[in-house]
Amino acid sequence: MTLTCEIRRNGGPDVLEWIDTEPGEPGPGEVRIRHHAVGLNYIDIYHRTGLYPLSLPSGIGLEAAGEITAIGDGVTDLAIGDRVAYASAPLGAYAEERLMPADRVVPLPDAVDARSAAALMLKGLTAHFLLFRTFAIQPGQRVLVHAAAGGVGYLLCTWATHLGATVIGTAGSREKAAIAREAGCAEVIQYRDGNIATQVRRAAGKRGVDVVYDGVGAATFQDSLDSLAPLGMMVSFGNASGPVPAFEPSELARRGSLFFTRPSLLDYTRERQDLLDGASALFDAVEAGILSARIGQEFPLPEAARAHRALEARKTTGASLLIPD
């Protein structure tokens, strides 16, 4: 038997229920994984609250790392004992052991341990497609990253700086501003100071920034648009403060023929080769010392509700992990 988290209704952290289940034997194209570390992500809260509707009851969690304990028919590129990680549906990472489709699982290089992989997979793959595919960063470009001290934000700032961009970050406190500077931000703006777009243009130049990476949503949407240069791109990849408001497409034209996109990791890793290529680039950046797994806090797996409360209250920095016994 294995301890597994289940959601039977949407709501607060108290809806997370722990049950004993039998993961069973993997079917064709599946592997069974014993988790060593589970990643906590804001999308887990969206699933729990119903912002992203699920068919209930449902498991929860998209990211984990561990060891393969069994393989099903047709799986040829993975073996029992392999160290692996994933950041993908089907939901159910909040578990000690589970079944996963083999084509969603990637092997780990020797230089990346399970905790680092569970902290990096979803956030790192997200940072990769945002920086290299959604808007391919070029040296000298100006970039605005909201929540620069957060899990994805920190990686975006670090990687974009390495690529030669000038990065401006936003943060919610003096402590988080210091973390954003560690990530390579040339300038950090605190939300409480107000007039974010004015400060961005003061730091980046009157023209504005070439791209905004915004995982905050409603609270920063207007400032994001106000910060963009003509032909700039608004990349809205999260809703931490709620979904962005409805707006007229003509608003983009009025502001200088702006681009707007709402990308998803699922679409950028739908093909297995894209998943493997993204993971390879991520792990290469870790091995080269460009990126690191900045783990801010760890919680025992059964204390996922406490972890959710901390994440929602913005009391976390970097990545958060759930650790099975």
Percent of the chain with pLDDT over 90: 84
Predicted local confidence at residue 36, as pLDDT: 98
- Give the end of a domain, one of 262, 287, 303: 262
Report yes or no: 240 and 147 within 8 Å, Cβ to Cβ.
yes
Q: Which residues have CB under 8 Å from 162's CB, separation 6+?
A: 184, 285, 290
Residues 154 and 222 in one domain: yes
Report yes or no: 142 and 151 within 8 Å, Cβ to Cβ.
no
Q: Which domain holds residue 96?
A: 2-121+266-323
Q: What is the mean pLDDT of residues 313-324?
A: 87
pLDDT at 205 over 90: no
The model's confidence at residue 114, banded by pLDDT at 50, 70 and 90, is very high
**Is 87 within a domain?**
yes
**Is 250 within a domain?**
yes
Phi (first) and psi of residue 6, to 5 degrees? -135, 145
Residues 114 and 181 in one domain: no
Q: What is the mean pLDDT of residues 192-213?
A: 90
pLDDT at 199 over 80: yes
Residues 258 and 279 in one domain: no
Domain CATH code at residue 187 = 3.40.50.720
Q: What is the mean pLDDT of residues 266-281?
A: 97
Place of tokens 């549906």: 89
3-state SS class at 287: helix
Question: In 3D, which of 322, 307, 283 has the Cα closest to residue 128?
Answer: 283
Predicted local confidence at residue 185, as pLDDT: 97
Report yes or no: 87 and 93 within 8 Å, Cβ to Cβ.
no
pLDDT at 218 over 90: no
Beta strand 16-21 with 30-40 is unpaired
- Give the end of a domain, one of 215, 240, 262: 262
Residues 53 and 95 in one domain: yes
Residues 157 and 205 in one domain: yes
**Is 129 within a domain?**
no
Residues 34 and 50 in one domain: yes
Amino acid identity for residue 103 in this structure: D
Beta-bridge partners for 297 = 320
User: What is the C-alpha separation between 117 and 226, in angstroms, rounded?
Assistant: 36
User: What is the C-alpha separation between 183 and 227, in angstroms, rounded?
Assistant: 21
Residues 258 and 144 in one domain: yes
- Give the end of a domain, one of 245, 262, 279: 262
Strand ranges, E, within 157-315: 166-171, 187-190, 209-214, 228-236, 259-261, 295-300
pLDDT at 317 over 80: no
**Is 133 within a domain?**
no
User: What is the C-alpha separation between 85 and 27, in angstroms, rounded?
Assistant: 19
**Is 283 within a domain?**
yes
Secondary structure element (H or E) that encloses residue 161, with its range: helix 151-162
pLDDT at 155 over 90: yes
The model's confidence at residue 1, banded by pLDDT at 50, 70 and 90, is confident
Q: What is the mean pLDDT of residues 140-158?
A: 94
Residues 230 and 295 in one domain: no
Residues 164 and 244 in one domain: yes
Exposure letters 31-51 (e unless 16+ CB within 10 A, then b):
bbbbbbbbbbbbbbbbbbbee
3-state SS class at 111: coil
Phi (first) and psi of residue 297, to 5 degrees? -160, 150
pLDDT at 224 over 90: yes
Residues 212 and 161 in one domain: yes
The upper half-sphere exposure of residue 166, i.e. CA atoms within 13 Å in the direction of its Cβ, equals: 13
- In tens, the pLDDT along 74-97 reads 999 999 999 999 999 999 999 999
Predicted local confidence at residue 66, as pLDDT: 98
pTM confidence score: 0.92
- In tens, the pLDDT along 157-194 reads 999 999 999 999 999 889 899 999 999 999 999 988 77
Domain CATH code at residue 39 = 3.90.180.10
pLDDT at 232 over 80: yes
Residues 275 and 241 in one domain: no
**Is 221 within a domain?**
yes
**Is 130 within a domain?**
no
Give the total number of structural domains in the chain. Answer: 2
Predicted local confidence at residue 106, as pLDDT: 98
Residues 204 and 183 in one domain: yes
Report yes or no: 59 and 130 within 8 Å, Cβ to Cβ.
no
**Is 304 within a domain?**
yes
CA dihedral 210, 216, 218, 224 (to 10 degrees): -20
